[in-house]
Amino acid sequence: MVEMLEVLGIIGVLSIGGIKGYSMAMHKHNINKTMDWIAEAANNYYTFTAGHPAGDLITQAYDSTWIKQFIAPKEWTKNGNRAPMGVKMSFGASGTVTAQYFSVSLYDLDPSDCTDLVSFGATNYPLKSLWVNPQNKSFNGSLCTDDQGTNTCTTAINKLNSPAKAAKACKGKKNSILLMFKAY
């Protein structure tokens, strides 16, 4: 009987470890898939805008149908406008006749997910700017912080290009990030 309890105890410990490992692997997979969606949307944006006159794009810049049809990954709309990791995700476009910009926003990020996405984005995407809002609100000049804790929405990308620097900016319980891609 004692040997049976020992075996059950060992199986229980291994099961708990397996479940935790699986959970961590799925979470990492969802973060990677979110990064893939961001890259796909940016590539779609650059491909679409390359074939259209700038004036035509400006009139359609905030058209959500345009974003959903040509830019956003198809899975995004099927997923209820949420990233694979479950947080709210939105895509946008804006600009002038001479330069158009594409942006991706994510909301309700915990500090570790924010850090992963910000440090990856700062080093791997062609960004014009990268903003972090530790108060999880819309972006404006008084609500964003950089890695030095200054209140600004014009955070220099090179200030956030490492996990340590990104962690300083992603200090809120829930964070928002905005990635503004360079004009095509």
Q: What pLDDT, on a 0 to 100 scale, did the predictor assign at position 55?
A: 59
On average, the pLDDT of the chain sits at: 76
- Topology (CATH level 3) of domain 2-181: TcpA-like pilin (3.30.1690)
Q: What pLDDT, on a 0 to 100 scale, did the predictor assign at position 69?
A: 77
Kindly report the backbone phi and psi dihedral angles of residue 8, in degrees, each rounded to the nearest multiple of 5, phi listed first: -65, -40
- Record the tokens describing residue 45, joined without a space: 């944006």
Instruction: Inform me whether the pLDDT recorded for 131 exceeds 80.
Output: no
Q: What pLDDT, on a 0 to 100 scale, did the predictor assign at position 95?
A: 65
25 close to 33: Cβ distance less than 8 angstroms: no
pTM of the model: 0.75
**Dist. CA 119–CA 157, nearest whole Å:** 9
Q: What is the mean pLDDT of residues 90-102?
A: 72
Instruction: Inform me whether the pLDDT recorded for 61 exceeds 60.
Output: no
Note the pLDDT tens digit of each residue in 133-184: 777 666 554 455 444 455 454 445 556 767 777 887 788 788 888 888 876 6
Note the pLDDT tens digit of each residue in 20-45: 888 888 888 999 999 999 988 888 88
Q: What pLDDT, on a 0 to 100 scale, did the predictor assign at position 96?
A: 64
Q: Which residue has 């004009």 as its token pair?
A: 183
pLDDT-derived band at 53, boundaries 50, 70, 90:
low
128 close to 181: Cβ distance less than 8 angstroms: yes
Mapped to the 3 state alphabet, what secondary structure does the chain carry?
A: CHHHHHHHHHHHHHHHHHHHHHHHHHHHHHHHHHHHHHHHHHHHHHHHHHCCCHHHHHHHCCCHHHHHHHHCCHHHHHCCCECCCCCEEEEEEEECCCCEEEEEEEEEECHHHHHHHHHHHHHHCCEEEEEEECCCCCCCCCCCECCCCCECCCCCHHHHCCHHHHHHHCCCCCEEEEEEECCC
Q: What pLDDT, on a 0 to 100 scale, did the predictor assign at position 142?
A: 47
